Amino acid sequence: QPQGDPDREYRSDSGGSGFVVSADGYVVTNHHVIEGATKLRVRLEERYYDATIKGTDPATDLALLKIEAGRPLTFLPLGDSDRMRQGDYVMAIGNPFGLDSTVTSGIVSAKGRHIGQGPYDNFIQTDASINPGNSGGPLINLRGEVVGLNTAIASNSGGNDGIGFSIPINIAMSV
């Protein structure tokens, strides 16, 4: 807590990305996107929904949220990240720097990358632009299927240097 009045409440807003994985409102994102949050809201189509945490796994940096939309939701189909190959085209979708619904494209540079992020250090590397705020968003193949969960970047500047990392969707869904 910052120095000053110990009875004063401090508020900080932050954001990230995520995606709906079921018609009944389950949303997947990164653990680091929601870590320490006291209130979670998910925005879909310019509407906000309160979210509850259904599960988190800091070791894999995954979180599962639930929203009650009052209607069946459109959700993204899941692909098979084990079938991906180096050179496959992919798109990263998210909210980098608070810019809603940003889509970037690139190729899979490598699979099974180890970047020192924990016991499940097994990432898809892509040159699709991934920036702060993209965390938790989907990495999508050309069939429109989610094959990864955008999680990290390798950068000297703090922004995109053309090296992004996603958790393979097969690992995410097994967790």
40: region left, alpha or beta (phi > 0 left; psi from -120 to 50 alpha)? beta
**Active-site residue, from 17, 109, 129, 135:** 135
Query: Whats the size of the chain, residue-wise?
Result: 175
Q: What is the DSSP string of 134-160?
A: -TT-EEEETTS-EEEEEEEE--SSSS-
61 annotated active-site: yes
**Active-site residue, from 17, 61, 109, 129:** 61
Cα angle 171, 30, 32 (rounded to 5 degrees) comes to 130
The rounded distance, in Å, linking the Cα atoms of 122 and 111 is 7
The rounded distance, in Å, linking the Cα atoms of 9 and 115 is 37
In what side-by-side order are the strands of the sheet with 62-67? 19-20, 26-29, 62-67, 47-57, 40-44
Which sign does the torsion angle of CA 32, 35, 38, 42 carry? positive
The residues annotated with a catalytic role in the active site are 32, 61, 135
